[in-house]
Every structure is written in structure tokens, then in C-alpha cells.
Amino acid sequence: MLRRDVLKLAGAGLATVAVGRTAFAETTPPPVPTPFDFNLDVPTDNRDAFIAWMEKNRGEKTDFLRQRYDRYQALIHNRDIWDKPDMRAFLMTPREEFCLKQNWSRAYEHAFLDIGFGVTISGPHLVGRMTSNLNVAKGDNVLEIGTGSGYQSAYLAHLTDKVHTIEIIKPLAERTRATYDGLIARGYSEFKNVSTKNADGYYGWEEAAPFDKIIVTCGIDHVPPPLLQQLKPGGIMCIPVGPPGAQHVLKVEKTVEADNTITVKRRDIFDGKIVPFVPFTKLEGDGIKGTHNQ
């Protein structure tokens, strides 16, 4: 994709989003009553208790909370999330905030949704399974390649206080940073955990490395060597690998033996199922090729 094509898409994306964000600003909810804390005890086993707790402590809308909990139950049933931290992270992440206004009613569908700029926000089942396979713990230094809407890094911000995310499309990176800043201003203090950067994600984020976990949200035909180098020994990377439109989502684990030999183990987290992603974005000369997916 040439730079001029990206700029055309960017302009169209900004025009679309401006309408949605302006309308949203007119109905902005009051500040979040209870700031985020990693020790918050969010009800996960009862729909009514969850909704009541979130209404009281986070000030979120009932309709979205109902949809979120129903999708959460589907994720549990499908084994896309399975431990307490990831359950809480999914339930506390307001996916609707990262969707365009025209897609609010579909925010919790099992579907990819347009976010402008020719890119999408991945479905919750895919985000849940990839994140769960990372096994993120508080204190982990995590890198995301492909900020997109910001939903994936928002999810991660409920698991650790060190999230770094890179987006190559500048106007999209700026819009998502503004989304985070707006949410922080409303009291979503957990999003202070997210550091953003407009750059070519193929080369990672050397200044913030090494990383305990890396998640790549766009398809590529190989594991980028700079990302593998920036992954700590014992670290985990989740990345879609394969030809265009036919990727397998791999869990890549890096170990260093006593003799300093590096071993890389790969496992398909969908047991061979093809999961199509848009291509990895990479700068090529004065142009941009491919698009991010998250």
C-alpha cells in the first residue's frame, strides 16, 4: 500500500470517527467512581452481581455490561479465557470505547469490526485466547505490535502495569492515544499503564526492551528477528504466522540453555485452524505496505 493510499484512508477514517466521537462527547458519562487497582474484587461468577458492581464502581452503562458478560460466558465456554486475572481483565475492559459509534451495538459480537483507516478491531474470542496464552502477570513488561483501536492494550493494562504498543499509521496512532487520554481523564487510571509509539513495529521497541511477553496483531510469514531478540529468555510471544489471509496463531516460547544455546518452541493455539489476519505493516522506502489488525 502506497503512502498516498494510506493518507486517503486516514482522511476517510478521521471523517468517520469525528462524527462518532463528537456524538459520544455529548453523552460522556460522569467520572469513574472507583479508580483501578489490581486488587479490585470484580464479581465474575454472577451476571447480576457483576453488573451491579460495575455500575456502582465504574459507572458504566447497563446495556453494554449485559452484552460484555454474555460474551464473557461464551469465551469461558469456548476455552478462550480460563484463569481469574484474564476473566477480570476481559470483564473490566470497555470494548465499546474502542469501537466506532456506528458499531456500538455490535461491540460484543464475535466479529471483526471496522475502525477506519482500512483496519479492524479483532473479535473478543481471538483477543481473549491470544492474551490468555501469554499468561501475563503484574510487573511483566509487555509489547504489542499493532495498536489499532487500542482494545488489546487496554485489556493488557488490567493485567500488568507495563504495556508498550506500537502503531505505524500515524493518524490512527494519534487517535488511539487521544482515546486513552480521554479515558484517563474520566478516571480509567489503568490506562496510564499504556505507553504508545508511532513507528515500524517490525523492529520492536529497543529502548523499552527486553520484554517478558510480546503480542503481534497482524499476519506475517515469519517471526521478526528483532522481536525474538527483544524477548527475554523464558518469554512468550503470540503471533499470527503464514501466507496472506491464511495464518496460524503461534505461541512462541524462547529459552536459553546452560551453554547459551537459544531454543524456540512453537505451538498453534488454535490446533491447526487458519485465522486470517490483515498483513503486517512495514515501511518500504517512502511507502507503507500492509495494515494492522487490532
145-202 tens-digit pLDDT: 999 999 999 999 999 999 999 999 999 999 999 999 999 999 999 999 999 999 999 9
Q: How far is CA 260 from CA 227, 254, 263, 265, 266, in A?
A: 18, 12, 9, 16, 19
- Per-residue pLDDT at 20: 39
Q: Phi/psi at 20 (nearest 5 deg)?
A: -65, -45
The answer for 116, left when phi > 0, alpha when psi is -120 to 50, beta otherwise, is left
Q: Can you name the residues that pair with 120 across neighbouring β-strands?
A: 114
All residue ranges of the chain with pLDDT < 50 are 1-26, 285-294
Residues with a known catalytic role: 122
Residue 244, preceding bond cis, omega within 30 degrees?
Answer: no
Instruction: Return contacts of 43-49, CB within 8 angstroms, 24+ apart.
Output: 44/72, 44/84, 44/87, 44/88, 44/91, 47/73
Q: How far apart are CA 83 and CA 273, in angstroms?
A: 23
Look up residue 279 and give its DSSP letter.
B
Amino acid identity of residue 5, one-letter, is D
Q: Which fold has domain 3-289?
A: Rossmann fold (3.40.50)
Amino acid identity of residue 94, one-letter, is P
- Per-residue pLDDT at 256: 85
- Per-residue pLDDT at 284: 57
Q: Which residues contact 168 (CB under 8 A, 6 or more apart)?
A: 198, 199, 200, 201, 281, 282, 283, 288, 292
- Per-residue pLDDT at 73: 98
With 0.75 as the threshold, say if the pTM is over it: yes
Amino acid identity of residue 74, one-letter, is A
Q: How far apart are CA 74 and CA 61, in angstroms?
A: 20
Q: How far apart are CA 202 and CA 214, in angstroms?
A: 12
